[in-house]
Amino acid sequence: MDPSIAPASRAAVVTPNDSTLVGARALYIGTAGDIAISPHRDLDPVIFKNVPAGTILPVHAARVALTGTTASNIIALF
């Protein structure tokens, strides 16, 4: 299977941080709120507003920033 479309094979808890690299291919949002994601390490975060609990965001997340993130129980999917 093409690795770019294969399902995730690993997961890890994410603690939002303005500088720590995550490198996830998608994020699971356990508790609703806003989530600030940098798609590349050198780009400013984009804030996804009012993300419902149980959502899987299929976006590359180089960083999950603490500033601007109110969602919690975030899981990185690799």
For residue 26, give the amino acid letter.
A
Tokens representing residue 73 in the block: 């129980």
pLDDT of residue 41: 84
pLDDT of residue 7: 85
Largest CA distance in the chain: 37
Instruction: Give the global pTM.
Output: 0.91
pLDDT of residue 55: 98
Q: What is the DSSP string of the chain?
A: --TTTSPP--EEEE---SS----BSEEEEEE-EEEEEESSTTS--EEEEEEPTTEEE-S-BSEEESTT---EEEEEE-
Question: Which residues on adjacent β-strands are paired with residue 77?
Answer: 11, 26
pLDDT of residue 3: 66
pLDDT of residue 1: 63
Walk along the chain (78 residues) in steps of 10 and give the mean pLDDT of each run.
77 96 96 96 93 96 97 97
pLDDT of residue 4: 67
